[in-house]
Amino acid sequence: MAGEDGRRKRSEESRRKIIEALVALVGEGHVTPAAEQIAARAGVGLRTVFRQFADMEAIYAGMAQRMAREYHNWLDPFTAPDWRGQLGEMLDRRLETYERLMPYKRAADVHRHASAAIQQRHAGVLAAMRGRLVGLLPAAIVADAIRLETIDLLLSFETWQRLRIDQQLPPALARDVVSSGVARLLQPEE
């Protein structure tokens, strides 16, 4: 029994090291590191990598699961007393998280088309984000499909990535673009 517990703990530790190795490599800019690189960084043999994970998809799914924990503050209660202030808090939380997790999200997106696990996690995160947004906005804005969809788009990772990577805007300016766009959509119609 003690031997089985020791093997299980070593196995869990190997899995943790492999996932953390992938996280470190992706964080350094390696979007699709090879299994050999992951094994070397984790300090385990290549056979151990594939004893712990069926394939590379499973390793990336493990990274996606690990990174999902980084979204923890999105569910914290808002401190602002009104919905506009709470929307500002939501915007700040999302953009800070996008900036911090950008290399990992981009790596997961590269593998998403081939991974049911990553697709499922992605869909769950999107549904949670949308649910929180819809629950926060006034009914009149939610009922206006154009305004709702545009606000949802502006608050998306894809918008942040476009501003930061493709348009090469610094974080403060990219934040101002998103914030300004959302604010304009909240103006009463004339």
Q: Is the pLDDT of residue 83 over 80?
A: yes
Calculate mean pLDDT across residues 114-121: 79
Nearest 5 degrees, angle CA 109-CA 115-CA 118? 60
Amino acid at 51: R
Residue 149, amino acid: E
Q: Which residues contact 24 (CB under 8 A, 6 or more apart)?
A: 41
**84-107 pLDDT, tens per residue?**
999 999 999 999 989 988 888 887
- Model pTM? 0.76
Taking 90 as the threshold, does the pLDDT of residue 188 lie above it?
Answer: no
pLDDT band at 3 (very low <50, low <70, confident <90, very high): low
Yes or no: say if 64 and 121 are a contact pair by the CB < 8 Å rule: yes
* CA atoms of 71 and 98, how far apart (whole Å): 9
Is residue 59 within 8 A of residue 22, CB to CB? The reply is yes
Report which of residues 124 and 84 the model is more confident about.
84
